[in-house]
Amino acid sequence: MAYYTVAHFLHGGSFDGSKPGPLGIHASELTDQIWDYIFCDGPFPTTSSITQEKLDKLKREFKYFYPLDLRVSGKDLIPNHLTFFIYNHVAMFPEHLWPRGVRSNGHLQINGEKMSKSRGNFMIVAESVEKYGADATRVTLADAGDSIEDANFEESTANAAILRLFTLKEWCEEQVKNQNNLRTGPTDSFNDRVFENEINKLIQQTDKAYKDTFYRDALKYGFYELQTARDWYREATVDEGMHRDLILRWIEVQALLLSPIAPHWSEYIWREVLSKKGFIIDASFPKPLSPVDESLLEAGEYVRKIIKSIRDLEIASQKKKKKGKAEDFDPNKPKTLKIFVATSFPEWQDIVVEAIKQNFNEDTKSFDDIKIREHLSEKGILKNKKTMPFVQEFKKRVEKFGTAAFNRALLFNEYDTLVTSKVYLQRSLGYSNVEVLRGDEAREEEEKRAIELAVPGEPGFLFKNIVEK
């Protein structure tokens, strides 16, 4: 029966074999030997009434589609259809012809609620396309979720997608039109190298997300985070200007990465804005132009983290002031900032890290807490109030990153990175002056207190208002 069903489906013959398909083959003629020849590379059946030319056409059609890359269906079919889909293939075919992937999905909600005609919150694809446009609809569906849980179509996301796509289109048009005003020459500044490196990394992450059918992640890396990288680069290069080659490269990569989700927008950017020949659907997926440098990624993230840390400290100082605690700093008045870079970790932290390292079982991912405490007691640092909180925090890092957590050395030069980014920090945070100092350059008492809190990767800060004379 299965053979007849396949013959009817593929070749248009009648189900009972009374009528031949387009190749003139009756389903009743397809014997086990013929199926072995088509599906299993068996020998040509010498007793067959069908010519080898016709059977070879069937074999080519089968090999064109097999092994299938992906079977997509609803989560309610996992216990039956999808399970037997796997069983049948394993029973019939060798392993290299088994399905490469099965993707299961839940139902689609709208605005966090189950769609229902009786409730009036039902929307079909055609209605969404008419209301939001095809690309905004596709962006919202990609953003709705990839897991087996029910996805959620948020109309606010669809509205935001329209604005984001339109704004980005205008920005791309403006940059291409005024490209002669952009900086040229070498792309070897710190900001250039970080930006180019982030583009390369996001290409890799987006590519993997598409291959894994995680379309929300593909949208995250290939759309949202790619624009975040551009925003940082634009702000960081206000003085020197953005580099023309990097901006044109970014626009091209953005169009290519987004084309599976927003094909109409991407096609417009590709042909009308970048003046590329041919259609974007025929273009190759972008590849990194150079190997990804993890140290540059870490340095770029470090600079962004520093800005947040300083802003958080300013907010904390104002909260202290409201509570009546002594705090005379006003972030809205002219101010200066000193950043103190630590060259080593405190000795007590090194002792803690070593104790945890010696008593961590990599196979079971477990810690011997009794021996850790004994080690710290022998070293006489249990009385330090900072010790046990640091122990617990570092254990979490080991659980998250594995043994890599024990290597606390930075991948980049912290001092040089801060010096290079000093103008950007000064402008972004609104300081009149920013100084970057090494720990041993602290002279005054308040400077020494600032460096006491610093460790590699987390500098100390001292901000003051400028006293007018």
Closest CA to 431 of 416, 440, 421: 421
Rounded Cα gap, residues 295 and 223, in angstroms:
23
pLDDT of residue 180: 95
Q: Is 29 exposed, middle or buried, given 0-12, 13-18 or 19+ CB atoms closer than 10 A? A: middle
pLDDT of residue 355: 92
**What single letter denotes the amino acid at residue 203?**
I
CA distances from 230 to 165, 247, 418 (A): 15, 8, 20
* Locus of tokens 């606010």: 156
Rounded Cα gap, residues 292 and 303, in angstroms:
18
**Top-confidence range, 248-257, 340-349, 434-443:** 248-257
Q: What are the backbone dihedrals phi and psi of residue 464, each rounded to the nearest 5 degrees, phi first?
A: -140, 155
Rounded Cα gap, residues 352 and 324, in angstroms:
37
Please list the residues that pair with 328 across neighbouring strands.
none
Closest CA to 155 of 117, 115, 206, 213: 115
Q: Is the pLDDT of residue 95 over 50?
A: yes
For residues 245-249, average pLDDT: 97
For residues 404-408, average pLDDT: 87
Options 1.10.730.10, 3.40.50.2300, 2.40.40.20, 3.40.50.2000; CATH of 131-292: 1.10.730.10
pLDDT of residue 320: 72
Cis check: omega of the bond before 288, within 30 degrees of 0: no
Q: Is the pLDDT of residue 3 over 50?
A: no
Q: What are the backbone dihedrals phi and psi of residue 386, each rounded to the nearest 5 degrees, phi first?
A: -85, -15
Residue 5's pLDDT band (cuts 50, 70, 90) = very low
Q: What are the backbone dihedrals phi and psi of residue 411, each rounded to the nearest 5 degrees, phi first?
A: -80, -5
Q: What is the mean pLDDT of the chain?
A: 87
pLDDT of residue 384: 87
Q: In what order do the strands lie in the sheet with 433-438?
A: 433-438, 335-341, 460-465
- Of all helices (H) and strands (E), which one includes residue 16? none
CA distances from 363 to 358, 366, 369 (A): 14, 8, 16
54-68, 148-162, 302-316, 441-455: lowest mean pLDDT where?
A: 441-455
- CB within 8 Å of 114: residues ≥ 6 apart: 107
Pairing type for strands 151-153 and 108-110 reads parallel
Rounded Cα gap, residues 346 and 395, in angstroms:
18
Rounded Cα gap, residues 158 and 142, in angstroms:
11
Q: Is 2 exposed, middle or buried, given 0-12, 13-18 or 19+ CB atoms closer than 10 A? A: exposed
Pairing type for strands 102-105 and 71-74 reads parallel
pLDDT of residue 233: 95
- pTM of this structure: 0.79
Q: Considering Cα of 218, then 219, then 220, then 223, what sign does the dihedral take?
A: positive
pLDDT of residue 7: 47
pLDDT of residue 111: 84
455 vs 182, higher pLDDT: 182
pLDDT in tens, 183-234: 999 998 999 999 999 999 999 999 999 998 899 999 999 999 999 999 999 9
Q: Where are the alpha helices (DSSP H) in 224-367?
A: 225-236, 244-258, 263-268, 294-322, 347-358
Domain boundaries, the chain: 2-65, 71-105, 131-292, 295-343+412-465, 347-406
CATH topology match: 131-292 vs 295-343+412-465: no
Residue 319's pLDDT band (cuts 50, 70, 90) = confident
**Superfamily in which the 295-343+412-465 domain is placed by CATH:** Class I aminoacyl-tRNA synthetases (RS) (3.30.2320.20)
For residues 429-442, average pLDDT: 88
Q: Is the pLDDT of residue 286 over 80?
A: yes
11 vs 69, higher pLDDT: 69
